[in-house]
Amino acid sequence: MISVIVLSSVLAVVSASNFNQDFTITWGDGRVKILNNSQPLTLSLDKTSGFGFQSNNEYLFGKIDMKLKLAPRNSASTVTAYYMEHPLESSRMQSRCSVPKEPTHEIILKKKQRAVAAMWLTHFHLWRCRGFAWVRVIDSSLAGECIYTDGASLSTLFIVVSASNFYQDFDITWGDGRAKILNNGELLTLSLDKPSGSGFQSKNEYLFGKIDMQLKLVAGNSAGTVTAYYLSSQGSTHDEIDFEFLGNLSGDPYILHTNVFSQGKGNREQQFYLWFDPTADFHTYSVLWNPQRIIFSVDGTPIREFKNAESVGVPYPKNQPMRIYSSLWNADDWATRGGLVKTDWTQAPFTASYRNFNANACIWFSGSSSCSSSSSNSNAWFSEQLDSTNQERLKWVQKNYMIYNYCSDVKRFPQGLPPECNMS
Ligand SMILES: *[C@@H]1O[C@H](CO)[C@@H](O)[C@H](O)[C@H]1NC(C)=O
Ligand SMILES: CC(=O)N[C@H]1CO[C@H](CO)[C@@H](O)[C@@H]1O
């Protein structure tokens, strides 16, 4: 296999793009070609060798753009790297070509950096690029690719907007073959039978983001089954943002159960019916999580808003990175009509499907956020709130489809409703 990538540069210090002037080819034995002025630099990788090049200049701060066109389809297990690195550390690059060493966890911006690019085949381990860090992929059959937007500056490269690929973004964690990634990573299915359910989780941890997933729920008689889709951090004082879909007898409505945990404390349930049959087709379930609010949406319609109420003493999830989890399991001891309706195992296996995952999010890695550069905060979702139209839609859902709200459950809170319930 020969993979070719094409680069055209706008490495703007003073000069117009000229690879001859700005870069030195460091290795690859003829596999890197600098073409004519108007034409880009092309790089190719084959079984024998990758390639690399580096900038002639060293930089200390800057806004650096590079256009890349990556190796087209079927670039599985190739890695294209484009990064800034202190020259003394560049020896590492050679070793990555055979067996990659431990990943570089961070760039130290105080040192002068060189812009470096390389492409190589991963042999023993698969590696993923997260910003500037290389992360080993444990049990995926495909390597990820670095996804660069045309002309993106280095600071915006920190924000990861990836096309949906379940191999790249998720690990199946349990279910002994009952969870499957299909169609080249475009579809994931979970199934449940009497011996077991199944589940998956995201490879990344996120701290804030706008995260969409399309789900098609268990059809027919799904009573007793629960499809949980949620974000959660670790530990006893964890934060959590929950969607749970409680199945029902054929023709009876699912319940969409939501909850928000902060510092280990939940008890903030709101439940809804849906205005469509969630088993007939895929629908988009989204979480917007920024420092001010958490908004749950269904097909773009907000159904719940949980505001940051720290001002009235309510902890808000903002310090603990969360992973995305999903599972399909049997909960016939409580799920459907309080456990009255049992799972009908003659209908097994039960199946739920997932597709079009999209995370416009800050990835937490090795103790820091991919959004620590200030540029990311200019991303609209980071300060998004409901406009008047969406406030109306939220009211519409809450008036017509909400079947339980902890904030109205005065019996449950005889000492008074939780403080966030009194915020407008
Ligand atoms: C199932 O259908 C019944 C009857 O319409 C309804 O009361 C209940 O809320 C539905 N959902 C669940 C999960 O029990
Ligand atoms: C004007 C110029 O630089 N022409 C070059 C274009 O590229 C070919 C091969 O890539 C060279 O042979 C030409 O000299």
Q: What is the pLDDT of residues 303-336, one digit of tens each?
A: 999 999 999 999 999 999 999 999 999 999 888 8
Is residue 199 pLDDT above 70, yes or no? yes
Q: What are phi and psi of 260, to 5 degrees?
A: -135, 125
Q: What is the pLDDT of residues 123-140, one digit of tens each?
A: 223 334 433 334 433 323
Alpha-carbon Rg for the chain in angstroms: 24
Of the candidates 249, 83, 71, 244, the one whose C-alpha atom is nearest the C-alpha of residue 143 is 71
Average pLDDT over residues 51-55: 71
- Contacts of residue 423, Cβ cutoff 8 Å, sequence gap at least 6: 307, 309, 312
Range with lowest mean pLDDT among 77-81, 223-227, 270-274, 368-372: 77-81
Give the DSSP letter of residue 310. Answer: G
Q: Residue 18's pLDDT is what?
A: 67
Q: Residue 130's pLDDT is what?
A: 39
Runs of H (alpha helix) within 146-275: 154-157, 166-169
Going from the Cα of 33 to the center of ligand 2, the distance in angstroms, rounded, reads 11
As given in the structure block, the two tokens for residue 281 are 């087709």
Q: What is the pLDDT of residues 241-289, one digit of tens each?
A: 999 999 999 999 999 999 999 999 999 999 999 999 999 999 999 999 9
Asked if residue 252 has its Cβ within 6 Å of ligand 1, the reply is yes
More confident residue, 204 or 14: 204
Q: Which domains does the chain have, with CATH numbers?
A: 3-157 (no CATH), 168-422 (2.60.120.200)
Q: Prior bond to 414 cis, omega within 30? A: no
> What ligand has the least distance to the C-alpha of 338?
1
Is residue 178 pLDDT above 50, yes or no? yes
Q: Residue 131's pLDDT is what?
A: 36
Confidence of residue 365 (pLDDT cuts 50, 70, 90): confident
Going from the Cα of 34 to the center of ligand 2, the distance in angstroms, rounded, reads 9
Q: How buried is 82 (Cβ within 10 angstroms: 0-12 exposed, 13-18 middle, 19+ buried)?
A: buried
Q: Which atom of ligand 2 is nearest to the CA of 33?
A: 10
Q: What are phi and psi of 389, to 5 degrees?
A: -60, -45
- In one letter, which amino acid is 186? E
Query: Hey, which residues are catalytic here?
Result: 240, 244
Parallel/antiparallel/unpaired status of strands 23-27 and 51-55: antiparallel
Q: Does the pTM exceed 0.85?
A: no
Going from the Cα of 31 to the center of ligand 2, the distance in angstroms, rounded, reads 17
Largest CA distance in the chain: 77
Is residue 49 pLDDT above 80, yes or no? no
Confidence of residue 17 (pLDDT cuts 50, 70, 90): low
Q: Which atom of ligand 1 is nearest to the CA of 338?
A: 14
Confidence of residue 84 (pLDDT cuts 50, 70, 90): low
